[in-house]
């Protein structure tokens, strides 16, 4: 595999990590509600969702673009960068939470509980989020790369949506049972899992034209359209 350098690869990696951190640190503490003018199956006329669902599907779009243009091995390196960033951010959040607040700061009485609420997720949710991200993103990248070979580079929309269906499906099947089984009743768990999976896939579908534009521009700018014909698909490597 070549060792050439790319103009935009590092920027895409930074964007991927930024989106991932937003979805895992900023957004999970807020639950949003939107009243719909029509009824949807399962959810009815009231749409309730975690704010993280707005950010997280974008990371899959980044993953699709990276795999399509630069190949599985370079997407693998980005996934590991995101994994490390989540671990580090989670650790630092716990450090900040447990540092003793200064009694001289009058706002600490309000600020400390707020920090604990926003950044102090339960161990089950933290573990579920990390494991689900790692497995789901590698499934997405693997399926995307394999489908590119099977379709000879055609039908990009089929590959992005197909890889997201499997990647987000695995992500949801891992995350929700680990995080909430035994806390929510089974019906609620199933409904939330199904809705959030459908929501994330819908974001991928809606963003397909943007994905096409980004992929086309990057392939021209980088003079690259990588096919993983001789790639070692193990996730446990950082080699290009």
Cα–Cα distance, 29 to 50 (Å, whole number): 8
Tokens of 110: 């309000």
Return the pLDDT at 1: 47
Establish how many alpha carbons lie within 13 A of residue 28's alpha carbon, considering only the half-sphere containing its beta carbon.
20
Cα–Cα distance, 172 to 208 (Å, whole number): 21
Return the pLDDT at 52: 74
Whether the predicted pLDDT of 194 surpasses 60: yes
Domain borders along the chain are: 9-222
Q: Which is nearest to 125 in space by CA: 75, 79, 86?
A: 86
Cα–Cα distance, 226 to 240 (Å, whole number): 12
DSSP symbol at 181: B
pTM to 2 decimal places: 0.92
Q: Which long-range contacts (CB under 8 A, 24 or more apart) does 214-218 make?
A: 214/65, 215/65, 215/68, 215/69, 215/156, 218/8, 218/65, 218/69
Which one has a higher pLDDT value, 32 or 101? 101
Tokens of 144: 């995307």
| Per-residue pLDDT tens over the stretch 37-80 | 887 776 678 777 777 777 889 999 999 999 999 999 999 999 99
| Per-residue pLDDT tens over the stretch 77-118 | 999 999 999 999 999 989 999 999 998 888 888 999 988 887
Q: Which is nearest to 75 in space by CA: 84, 86, 64?
A: 64
Decide: 165 and 147 in contact? Cβ < 8 Å.
no
Cα–Cα distance, 98 to 233 (Å, whole number): 40
User: Which residues, other chains included, contact 106 with Cβ-Cβ below 8 Å and sequence gap of 6+?
Assistant: none
Q: Which runs of E-coded beta strand occur in the chain?
A: 31-40, 44-50
Cα–Cα distance, 144 to 71 (Å, whole number): 9
């Amino acid at each position: 595999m070549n060792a050439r350098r790319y103009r935009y690869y590092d920027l895409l990696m930074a964007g991927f990590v930024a989106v991932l951190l937003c979805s895992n640190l900023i957004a999970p503490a807020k639950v949003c509600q939107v009243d719909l003018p029509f009824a949807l199956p399962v959810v009815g006329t009231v749409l309730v969702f975690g704010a993280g669902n707005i950010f997280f599907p974008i990371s899959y779009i980044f993953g699709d673009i990276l795999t399509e243009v630069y190949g599985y091995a370079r997407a693998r390196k980005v996934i590991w960068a995101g994994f490390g960033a989540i671990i580090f951010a989670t650790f630092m959040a716990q450090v900040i939470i447990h540092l003793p607040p200064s009694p001289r700061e009058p706002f600490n009485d309000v600020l400390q509980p707020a920090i604990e609420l926003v950044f102090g997720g339960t161990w089950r949710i933290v573990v579920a989020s990390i494991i689900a991200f790692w497995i789901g993103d590698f499934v997405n990248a693997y399926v995307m790369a394999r489908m590119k070979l099977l379709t000879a580079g055609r039908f990009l929309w089929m590959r992005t949506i197909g890889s997201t269906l499997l990647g987000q499906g695995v992500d949801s099947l891992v995350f929700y049972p680990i995080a909430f089984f035994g806390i929510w009743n089974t019906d609620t768990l199933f409904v939330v899992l199904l809705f959030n999976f459908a929501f994330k896939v819908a974001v991928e579908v809606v963003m397909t034209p943007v994905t096409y534009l980004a992929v086309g521009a990057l392939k021209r700018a980088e003079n690259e359209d990588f096919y993983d014909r001789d790639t070692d698909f193990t996730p446990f490597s950082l080699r290009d």
